[in-house]
Amino acid sequence: MGFFTLLEDRVRQVDSLLCVGLDPHPGELRARQAGEARDFCLRLIEATSDLAAAYKPNSAFFEAFGSEGMAALQQVIAAVPEGIPVILDAKRGDIASTAQAYAQAAFHTLDADALTVNPYLGYDAVAPFLESPEKGVFLLCKTSNPGAADLQDLHIVPDSGERAASMLYEHVARLAQKWNQNDNLGLVVGATQLEALARVRTAAPNLWILAPGVGAQGGDLRLALEAGLRSDGLGMLVPVSRAISRAGDPRQAAQELRAAINRQRSVVSEHRVPEAGGRFPAALADSLLKAGCVKFGQFTLKSGLISPIYIDLRRLVSDPAMLAQVAAAYLPLLQELGFERLAALPYAALPIATAISLQSGWPMIYPRKESKGYGTRAEVEGVYEAGEQVVVIDDLATTGGSKFEAIEKLTAAGLEVKDVVVLIDRQSGAGEALSQAGFRLYAVFTLTQMLDHWELSGQVPAEQITAVREFLRA
């Protein structure tokens, strides 16, 4: 039986995703001795053993005491009641006989059930830790420390099994999905890294995620669960250390944390917005709102209508980080389609499609908005061959009028169009019009999904949400 089958049994038994961290910081000890570190942890175990899905002792705080500390760590692990998994936080990473020795130490000498492992040396450094299905591994994937971006956020070019480029941490997630042959491999992703958490869940939909950062580090519990939970409401452990150990009543703190996790977990499961092609990118929706790309009030549209909402994605050109985030949100949809080139619609979609091209390696062209009366007099700019299939990229879909104008120019140039992909479908008839003409519309968001999310999270007043919904129905 794989480690995660055992873990899921424990989670269901105590209805808990809480992983209690056992981190005997020197400042929390009455005396800076190995015995006090041991007793500190034993008190936490005794107070929380019916509430914890798992325990996570940090090896460093024991190793600092030398051989006495390692003996204390062994005693702490032995004190955890049978059936409760122990995840040793040691971040090991080496190769060959050294990795085998680390595995022997963690899983047999110390008798831990799982171990955190650094994947930087590749599969042969991970394999020795995966040999026993009942012993689990959590690979470091996307950590929350400031320097994590130095490596983990690097963009990598596609390999033979990937349609598009991605960040290094996403590649690690996909590798873990492939390496998980014995139901014993998971990932570590910081709960403060909401976008990364959602992208890792998309890349590895079945794996368990250990998500530190809730509590003293300030991670938002609801948003983290929304981004990281699997569709079955499982797949994510929430480790908490200081918020329990430093509480006046650690047991009460653990009870409140478990209750809060389950309450938010229930809300997320009940209100989760289903979407085609992947998970709802909640962090991106919130970023668009905060950046003023979506505004609520009274706005006069080009048609003359008074709208209670205005979407201005041209603002993205002034925010490179968010532009990259938006481009990344298109990738899961695009990876499911067949095409040779991106065809961006002027003007708002030009920077978006450029960012997509830079992240994915797909070449880009664009149909001109106005005819070119000089030079080559080209209607379509860029390099292409007649007969190639292109996917139309735009920022919004409203009625579909601009899409048909662009498709006409593209087909006149000998290109084939089947699909249109946008960031937001305003649900004002574009999907139906395109479908009737034989084209398919895909959207990262529908406006209804975004409204449902902002209503659930309380970020937009209810009367403004209601006004937009009435406007959509009119």
Task: Give the residue numbers marked as catalytic.
Answer: 91
| Partners of 422 in the β-ladder | 394, 443
> Rounded CA gap, 286 and 389, in Å?
34
Answer whether the bond into residue 347 is a cis peptide, omega within 30°: yes
Do residues 383 and 391 make contact, with C-beta atoms less than 8 angstroms apart? no
- Written in H, E and C, the secondary structure of the chain is CCHHHHHHHHHHHHCCCEEEEECCCHHHCCCCCHHHHHHHHHHHHHHHCCCCCEEEEEHHHHHCCCHHHHHHHHHHHHHCCCCCCEEEEEEECCCHHHHHHHHHHHHHHCCCCEEEECCCCCHHHHHHHHCCCCCEEEEEEECCCHHHHHCCCCEECCCCCCCCCEEHHHHHHHHHHHHCCCCCEEEEECCCCHHHHHHHHHHCCCCCEECCCECCCCECHHHHHHHHCCCCCCCEEEEECHHHHCCCCHHHHHHHHHHHHHHHHHHHHHHCCCCCCCCCCHHHHHHHHHCCCEEEEEEECCCCCEEEEEECHHHHHHCHHHHHHHHHHHHHHHCCCCCCEEEECCCCHHHHHHHHHHHHCCCEEEECCCCCCCCCCCCEECCCCCCCEEEEEEEEECCCHHHHHHHHHHHHCCCEEEEEEEEEECCCCHHHHHHHCCCEEEEEEEHHHHHHHHHHHCCCCHHHHHHHHHHHHC
Do residues 140 and 116 make contact, with C-beta atoms less than 8 angstroms apart? yes
If you count them, how many residues does the chain have?
474
Q: Which two tokens stand for residue 410?
A: 């593209």
Half-sphere exposure of 361 (CA within 13 A, CB side): 12
Half-sphere exposure of 428 (CA within 13 A, CB side): 16
Do residues 21 and 58 make contact, with C-beta atoms less than 8 angstroms apart? yes
First to last CA, the chain: 56
